[in-house]
Structure 1
């Protein structure tokens, strides 16, 4: 453990736990809104396909939501164990923001989640839809407060420092700090992209395996429309977010672009490939497009952008990590746009559900939403370094006094082992549900001997078992039905 400092291990531990955590809220935020849309479509059209899709995706939502809550609680403890100095100095701002999330979002979700999961047949359809809508709104409110807190740490406003403590002065300026609107829009769109790509990948898998029923086709179609809207929207939001970063976090922006020298008499290129060398303050093996970087960031072919050398070395982030994580995010984003426009062309030629190479492409793109999401957060958080509150409190000064590398290292090992078992099991369960796929439920009734209606489970995760039970029942029903027809 002596080869790695307590600070480095604490940062690795937080990065590990937050990376595990973020994939679950992103899934539940997007799926909650998707579920609300499905139930609204069912209420409007009375088409049982939407209801069956709702009953399938709510199982995956339930697992993701549960794992998101558990992993979020673990993260909070680290503010008291590894980062108590950060809590002491900045807790008067970040503490209330997280409290507002609990009071407004968690209470709303907790109040209606039970009705959403277990209310079929016990409340009216409109009451159930209202509960689903409240859960979806609750997930978005939760995202609002978390992004407000994180954005304030990136672009702090509305505070004063008294006796070394950050004291809130203007809550409006704190909540709606300069980067918050862009980060909130960027994260919300990312969450919808994550969930829509999950839906698309699942449907594409079953199409590739030979299924051609309405449940699978409807899933693919709805998911692809969402990918089209959100991927194109993300390009516009990302561009404006970059301009905001240039204004408020120029060091991060320079690291993202791998830009060392301030371009005073020529345009800045847009680097497609480079190997940033922090020790020698240069890039190796650059491949770029001349002047395009200046055009994107300043809307001028020769616009000046401040280089990394203008900032002291101790104020620079890890350039290679920021440079490449950003390009992973953007590259995958461009593939998402390509996926959606390819789907448009296949729709027009009426080959969307029969083109196996496209289904393979969609299957591969299914998990890319998560990869792009993590790459974006790496860019954001590593790019902020060496500050935990940008320009105000350094990360090293937020570390708890007296915490040792051995202590943090041991807890990190425990986290890795426990997370692998607990969340690995949850992810395996979700993958098993995805492999099973959506099945027809409301098209069969107990009177006709079909696999039965959607039962109200006694335990939250027992709702997940219904997918496998109903699949077996449907297979048995089909077999018996065929035998009866043959006998007749």
Structure 2
């Protein structure tokens, strides 16, 4: 396919499948926490607005959760099919970590998910709230194990290599490896931001359509307040993550910044825009601010950090790609802060529900959380190259011995299936969001419908009850 090698096709396939997969668990993390907050506010205030919003967003959560499970299965199989050499080398670390995720997070979510989705009228309010909190906790535990595994690949420690295979010797060091706390915090905050933007865009859509019901105003307001808290927090967490990356993966930072070499006695400039040329070893057409790059990364006006020329060519990541994915992430992050500040100012002026311009901006920014999250993921994963386990195993050594034709066929099949399945799933999600929280409302606290759904998708649209007829 397009004269690509088996390695390149395997990497494209992994990137394609993880692009789909990462979206759904992230939204699941954010929505689970949002549902817990909504139910807590309902229990405290007994305001039907919060209960209505809970029922509405629980439908979105159910569909999103189901798609996350399906996309995750493909990711698991792919390790064995396309990256068998990696599994043989480091399976003793990644295998147990993923098993721990199943034994803790997945069982926790699965155990309480049915009560959360279908038990509103079948259990007491406190038990139902406990189930919601457990599901939210399960999503965070799941993220913890996944990020521990992936972070070990970025900053491996707590192991020995015996006969060419990784042997764990210190599980505490493996789990709490140097990059783990920063990457976990960065990812969880990104999940909350992505969800807040989704909720805000949903509210903005209905406000633009003339739906000014209390539920619409409430979810729009809550989303903007969450964004006001989380977006600046992400800047702080991102700075800590950058400093940690500079310490452990300086080549990645150099690629992100388009920085090739230091000038004696001068601080490193911040390159705002440009085009890193890997062959010429320079960043063309660059617009830069003197000394600011060194100040951000070393907290010293005259600070310097290694340039790409200090690393062998074969150890350099693709600076052209990493440079721009990083700027997409940062640029969208700045727009998120603008939206949050605009929303706070509008609330202060009591004009948040009278500003179509704010609503349009919020609607436009709806996908930006997911796009920024994906751009950040590409930055950290492509920036790790050419290593699959940093400093220990190269990506070229990890790929299975498949032909380019085999991987071309499997990639084509995945593209077709993913577009069909997840395209339909996303379209259904958008349809549910477009209906609004006052559509298909579950029955009140009286008798519940006599149904016991067996899968998460059943929570989205209760089946219609056949009419009772007499003969």
Taking structure 1 as the reference length, the TM-score comes to: 0.92
Structure 2 partner of 1:430: 429
Structure 1 partner of 2:180: 180
CA shift at 1:258, angstroms? 0.3
- Give the gaps of 5 or more residues in structure 2: 466-471
Query: 1:181-260 to 2 correspondence within 5 Å?
Result: 181-260=181-260
CA shift at 1:437, angstroms? 1.2
Structure 2 partner of 1:376: 376
Q: What is the alpha-carbon root mean square deviation over aligned residues?
A: 1.9
Deviations 1:397-442 (A, max 9, x none): 00113x1111111000000000011111100000101111111777
* Change over 3 Å in CA distance of 1:440–1:74 after alignment to 2: closer
Where 1:384 maps in the other structure, the secondary structure is: coil
Q: Which moved more, 1:329-338 or 1:453-462?
A: 453-462
* Change over 3 Å in CA distance of 1:172–1:404 after alignment to 2: same
Question: Paired residues, what number?
Answer: 464
Structure 1 partner of 2:459: 463
Q: Distance in 2 between matches of 1:462 and 1:274?
A: 50
* Change over 3 Å in CA distance of 1:61–1:138 after alignment to 2: same
Structure 2 partner of 1:389: 389
CA shift at 1:465, angstroms? 2.3
Query: 1:444-455 to 2 correspondence within 5 Å?
Result: none
Q: Distance in 2 between matches of 1:160 and 1:222?
A: 49
CA shift at 1:455, angstroms? 8.0
* Change over 3 Å in CA distance of 1:445–1:240 after alignment to 2: closer
Structure 2 partner of 1:417: 416
* Change over 3 Å in CA distance of 1:350–1:145 after alignment to 2: same
1:45 pairs with 2:45:
yes
* Change over 3 Å in CA distance of 1:171–1:444 after alignment to 2: closer
* Change over 3 Å in CA distance of 1:364–1:223 after alignment to 2: same
Structure 2 partner of 1:116: 116
Query: 1:398-413 to 2 correspondence within 5 Å?
Result: 398-401=398-401, 403-413=402-412
Q: Distance in 2 between matches of 1:92 and 1:423?
A: 32
CA shift at 1:51, angstroms? 0.6
Q: Distance in 1 between matches of 2:2 and 2:358?
A: 51
Q: Distance in 2 between matches of 1:39 and 1:440?
A: 19
CA shift at 1:453, angstroms? 7.7
**Is the Cα contact below 8 Å between 2:84 and 2:399 reproduced in 1?**
yes
Where 1:172 maps in the other structure, the secondary structure is: helix
1:36 pairs with 2:44:
no
**Is the Cα contact below 8 Å between 1:60 and 1:464 reproduced in 2?**
yes
1:161 pairs with 2:161:
yes
Where 1:167 maps in the other structure, the secondary structure is: strand
Where 2:317 maps in the other structure, the secondary structure is: coil
Structure 2 partner of 1:484: none
1:326 pairs with 2:321:
no
* Change over 3 Å in CA distance of 1:444–1:350 after alignment to 2: farther
**Is the Cα contact below 8 Å between 1:275 and 1:320 reproduced in 2?**
yes
Where 2:167 maps in the other structure, the secondary structure is: strand
**Is the Cα contact below 8 Å between 1:294 and 1:305 reproduced in 2?**
yes
CA shift at 1:212, angstroms? 1.1
CA shift at 1:264, angstroms? 2.9
Q: Which moved more, 1:154-163 or 1:455-464?
A: 455-464
* Change over 3 Å in CA distance of 1:453–1:225 after alignment to 2: farther
**Is the Cα contact below 8 Å between 1:55 and 1:454 reproduced in 2?**
no
* Change over 3 Å in CA distance of 1:263–1:174 after alignment to 2: farther
- Give the gaps of 5 or more residues in structure 1: 471-488
Deviations 1:138-165 (A, max 9, x none): 0000000000000000001111111110
Deviations 1:350-401 (A, max 9, x none): 0001100010000001110010010000001000000000010000000113
* Change over 3 Å in CA distance of 1:469–1:325 after alignment to 2: farther
Where 1:60 maps in the other structure, the secondary structure is: helix
Q: Distance in 2 between matches of 1:19 and 1:443?
A: 34
Q: Distance in 2 between matches of 1:54 and 1:295?
A: 45
* Change over 3 Å in CA distance of 1:2–1:197 after alignment to 2: closer
**Is the Cα contact below 8 Å between 1:49 and 1:440 reproduced in 2?**
no
Where 2:35 maps in the other structure, the secondary structure is: helix
CA shift at 1:444, angstroms? 8.5
Taking structure 2 as the reference length, the TM-score comes to: 0.96
CA shift at 1:456, angstroms? 5.4
Q: Distance in 1 between matches of 2:199 and 2:325?
A: 25
CA shift at 1:463, angstroms? 2.6
* Change over 3 Å in CA distance of 1:211–1:391 after alignment to 2: same
**Is the Cα contact below 8 Å between 2:121 and 2:448 reproduced in 1?**
no
**Is the Cα contact below 8 Å between 1:90 and 1:165 reproduced in 2?**
yes
**Is the Cα contact below 8 Å between 1:262 and 1:310 reproduced in 2?**
no
1:336 pairs with 2:336:
yes
CA shift at 1:76, angstroms? 0.7
Query: 1:95-134 to 2 correspondence within 5 Å?
Result: 95-134=95-134
